[in-house]
Amino acid sequence: MTDTHPPEQNPEARWFGFREVAPAERSAKVQGVFANVARRYDIMNDLMSGGVHRVWKQVFVRAVRPRPGERVLDVAGGTGDIARRLHAATGGQAQVVVCDISEPMVGVGRDRAIDRGISPSLAEGGIAHLVGNAESIPLPDRSVDAYTIAFGLRNVTHIDRALAEARRVLRPGGRFFCLEFCPVDAPGLRRLYDLYSFQVIPRLGQLVARDRDSYQYLVESIRRFPEPPALAERMVAAGLSRPRWRSLSAGIVSLHSGWRT
Ligand SMILES: C[S@@+](CC[C@H](N)C(=O)[O-])C[C@H]1O[C@@H](n2cnc3c(N)ncnc32)[C@H](O)[C@@H]1O
């Protein structure tokens, strides 16, 4: 895809963590990260967060409040943790579709769903898994009731394109939800958080996933992600109205929501 957006509109596109890269190369680098860690991704989430990511995801799914019969699209859905929670929240009555750019991550998620007795077919009440880019989602306009993206948006090269795609696939009145890490501001907490992020997490990545660099990227990418008010403005610019956000765990994570009118 050619890079038609002016770079200042998507300043993150030039950054792979703290390293400056050509926007056209960024996605391949991100895909490399997730191909490397796919098999150890979920265990690493538990270890890094002490299990707290489960609470954040529970709060997220409660906010989405999927209803029976709705179609919910989980973009950058990775190994399907959020998708299975959304599916379970309606007793398997919602049509949940995962879309992620990483074939290895999607493969782990599909296998995990099958192991748990969930069909890979929407027609059979299961969860569908698609390999696709958040910037060009392989679904028709106005085809989903809710769009979710958890810990995914900061990995996307052009955030504004992804937000515009969210609006495109949502039906009028459809709901948008984003869960993402935030740069932490509180000075006391920030020092501790930085110490843990930069000293502990990459070492844990090396020990458990045999990949220090990928986890170094993950902690750096959080520092490059827009603050909640800036993201809210970009949601509105993309046509997602009434943006709201709430902080979880002293601002380590933010839950954003909006609507397609
Ligand atoms: C940190 S994981 C989050 C996975 C899952 N949502 C969760 O909460 O466990 C980020 C995911 O974003 C995916 N991703 C990165 N860039 C993407 C893009 N442009 N389009 C779709 N998915 C993307 C990665 O492949 C990875 O699976």
pLDDT value at residue 1: 41
200, part of any domain = no
Q: Which atom of ligand 1 is nearest to the CA of 76?
A: 22
> Could you tell me the distance, in angstroms and rounded to a whole number, from the CA of residue 153 to the centre of ligand 1?
8
145 close to ligand 1 (CB < 6 Angstrom): no
Domain count, the chain: 1
Task: Answer for the pair 39, 102: CB distance below 8 angstroms, yes or no.
Answer: no
90, part of any domain = yes
137, part of any domain = yes
Report the residue among 45, 53, 96, 102 best suited for mutation to probe ligand 1: largest number of ligand atoms under 8 A from its CB.
102
pLDDT value at residue 202: 97
192, part of any domain = no
Q: What CATH number is attached to the domain comprising 136?
A: 3.40.50.150
Can you give the residue range of the structural domain that contains 249? Answer: 7-183+220-260
Q: How far is residue 57 from each of residues 54, 156, 187, 248, measured CA to CA in Å?
A: 5, 20, 26, 11
Rounded to an integer, what distance in angstroms lies between the CA atom of residue 35 and that of residue 125?
A: 28
**Which segments of the chain have a pLDDT < 50?**
1-5, 7
202, part of any domain = no
Q: What is the pLDDT of residues 66-107, one digit of tens each?
A: 999 999 999 999 999 999 999 999 999 999 999 999 999 999
208, part of any domain = no
19, part of any domain = yes
159, part of any domain = yes
Q: What is the pLDDT of residues 23-54, one digit of tens each?
A: 999 999 999 999 999 999 999 999 999 999 99
